[in-house]
């Protein structure tokens, strides 16, 4: 019954850790079944407590991020010059200069790396995974000439999607940027039929880090990349996407470059990955 409880309470990775501990204790404490059971029970309990505290911490952090995002949207609409995307971006950056107003935007330092990759790719069709409040959609959308490019930004959170649409409209790039509400897992397979997209010239990945590999595989399996397509991923070092980084650097189908930089509005080290798809 205890093991069944853990299976439903813990994430799969936590349950794998518990399993490995039990196997280890069974091996080395073969002659002491009571001690082995006691230690295994303690490990299970510790993992459950860790999982519960982690889940609570994440929920609190997400709640704080929403509060800051609401303040930011109000501040930007009150202070930014409508129709001027550079001023909108500068106003957001100004809001984030206050240490208490941390936001998950790509920010100006990493933004310049992404800008360069975007400009060099000269995309007609671009996809962003994770609109958040619309900062990167405005940043990259402003580089597209009206009527000559299309930028689709996916966002799973309804409130963030609404924030992003408002910022995109305020910046005056809503004629080329579309914020789409929904799960990347559901929308990526619909890009061809629902949105009439044959391929993607540029993909900016900046949503949940544990979904980087899953969603890139989904893009690949739906044949949305062509030779020359560019994939850019943020936060490779912090909070980190080590498995994605390893996959991209080891792949024969991508030419990947890691750009050392800093976390948005911070001195913490971070990395941006820029990769060119070479084809199969």
Q: Are 261 and 109 in contact (CB under 8 A)?
A: yes
Structure tokens at 177: 């940027």
Judge whether 206 counts as a catalytic residue. yes
The catalytic position among 128, 264, 270, 271 is 264
The catalytic position among 128, 201, 215, 234 is 234
Q: Are strands 200-205 and 225-233 parallel, antiparallel or unpaired?
A: parallel
Q: What is the pLDDT of residue 60?
A: 73
Residues with Cβ within 8 Å of 74's Cβ and at least 6 positions away in sequence, in order, are: none
Whole-angstrom distance, CA of residue 236 vs CA of residue 263: 10
The catalytic position among 128, 209, 245, 270 is 209
Nearest to 230 by CA among 104, 121, 144: 121
Three-class secondary structure assignment of 89-115: HHHHHHHHCCHHHCCCCCHHHHHHHHH
Q: Are 259 and 232 in contact (CB under 8 A)?
A: no
Does 143 score more than 80 pLDDT?
yes
Query: Could you tell me the pLDDT band of residue 178, with boundaries at 50, 70 and 90?
Result: very high
Please compute the mean of the pLDDT values over residues 273-279 and round it to a whole number.
98
Query: Could you tell me the pLDDT band of residue 54, with boundaries at 50, 70 and 90?
Result: very low
pLDDT in tens, 248-272: 999 999 999 999 999 999 999 999 9
Does 40 score more than 90 pLDDT?
no
The catalytic position among 128, 206, 270, 271 is 206
Whole-angstrom distance, CA of residue 267 vs CA of residue 141: 27
Does 53 score more than 70 pLDDT?
no
Torsion angle of C-alpha atoms 11, 16, 21, 22, degrees rounded to 10: 100
Please compute the mean of the pLDDT values over residues 183-208 and round it to a whole number.
97
Q: What is the pLDDT of residue 8?
A: 41
Judge whether 235 counts as a catalytic residue. yes
The catalytic position among 105, 155, 201, 235 is 235
Does 44 score more than 80 pLDDT?
no
Weakest mean pLDDT among 8-22, 102-116, 212-226: 8-22
Does 71 score more than 80 pLDDT?
yes
Judge whether 264 counts as a catalytic residue. yes
């Amino acid at each position: 019954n205890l093991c069944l409880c853990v299976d439903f309470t813990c994430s799969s990775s936590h349950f794998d850790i518990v399993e490995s501990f039990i196997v280890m204790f069974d091996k080395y404490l073969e002659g002491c079944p009571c001690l082995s059971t006691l230690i295994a029970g303690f490990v299970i309990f510790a993992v459950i407590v860790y999982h519960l505290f982690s889940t609570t911490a994440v929920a609190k952090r997400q709640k704080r991020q929403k509060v800051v995002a609401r303040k930011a949207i109000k501040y930007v609409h009150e202070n930014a010059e409508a129709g001027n995307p550079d001023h909108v971006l500068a106003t957001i950056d100004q809001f984030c200069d206050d240490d208490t107003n941390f936001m998950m935007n790509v920010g100006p330092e990493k933004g310049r790396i992404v800008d360069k990759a975007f400009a060099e790719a000269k995309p007609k069709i671009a996809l962003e995974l994770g609109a958040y409040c619309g900062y990167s959609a405005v940043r990259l959308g402003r580089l597209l000439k009206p009527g000559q490019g299309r930028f689709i930004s996916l966002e799973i959170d309804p409130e963030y999607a609404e924030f992003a649409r408002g910022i995109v409209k305020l910046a005056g790039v809503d004629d080329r940027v579309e914020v789409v509400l929904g799960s990347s897992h559901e929308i990526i397979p619909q890009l061809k039929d629902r949105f009439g997209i044959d391929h993607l010239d540029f993909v900016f990945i900046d949503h949940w880090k544990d979904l980087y590999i899953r969603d890139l595989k989904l893009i690949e399996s739906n044949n949305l990349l062509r030779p020359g397509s560019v994939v850019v991923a943020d936060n490779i070092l912090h909070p980190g996407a080590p498995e994605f980084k390893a996959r991209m650097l080891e792949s024969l189908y991508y030419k990947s470059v890691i750009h050392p930089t800093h976390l948005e509005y911070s001195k913490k080290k971070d990395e941006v990955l820029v990769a060119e798809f070479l084809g199969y």
